[in-house]
């Protein structure tokens, strides 16, 4: 685990060094780090939202098993909660796309 983290860190540093060397070393520190930040941010958001959704569904199913008469109300609350959790991942995706297309990716 530790070796893969070290290799990942070295790969990130090499990528930014190569990107700066391709630009002639005249700056451009924002673009490579914007791409890295967008990727890491989206990965963290997607993973944590997935964990949150799984935990919410597990709790809702447990509650429905304990009180079958309240299943409709529990299911409605669960769906609203899942929509709110998913909206956090969508907000992160929008921010990641802004980072990529405004600062990160040069098509010219």
List all residues 6 or more positions away from 36 whose beta carbon is below 8 Å from its beta carbon: 12, 15, 16
| Residue 54: Cβ within 10 Å count | 10
- Give, for all 108 residues of the chain, the pLDDT tens digit: 777 667 666 666 566 555 555 555 444 677 778 888 888 989 999 999 999 999 999 999 999 999 999 999 999 999 999 999 999 999 999 988 888 887 666 655
**Residue-by-residue DSSP string for 31-54:** HHHHHHHHHHHHHHHHHHHHHHHH
Residue 60's pLDDT is what? 96
Q: If DSSP codes are grouped into helix, strand and coil, which group holds residue 23?
A: coil
Residue 10's pLDDT is what? 62
Residues in the chain: 108
């Amino acid at each position: 685990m530790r070796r893969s983290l070290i290799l990942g860190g070295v790969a990130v540093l090499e990528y930014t060094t190569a990107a700066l060397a391709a630009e002639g070393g005249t700056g451009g520190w924002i673009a490579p780090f914007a791409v890295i930040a967008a990727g890491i941010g989206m990965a963290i958001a997607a993973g944590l939202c997935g964990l949150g959704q799984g935990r919410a569904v597990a709790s809702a199913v447990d509650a429905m098993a304990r009180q079958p008469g309240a299943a409709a109300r529990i299911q409605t609350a669960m769906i609203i909660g899942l929509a709110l959790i998913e909206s956090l991942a969508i907000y992160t995706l929008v921010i990641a796309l802004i980072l990529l297309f405004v600062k990160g990716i040069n098509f010219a």
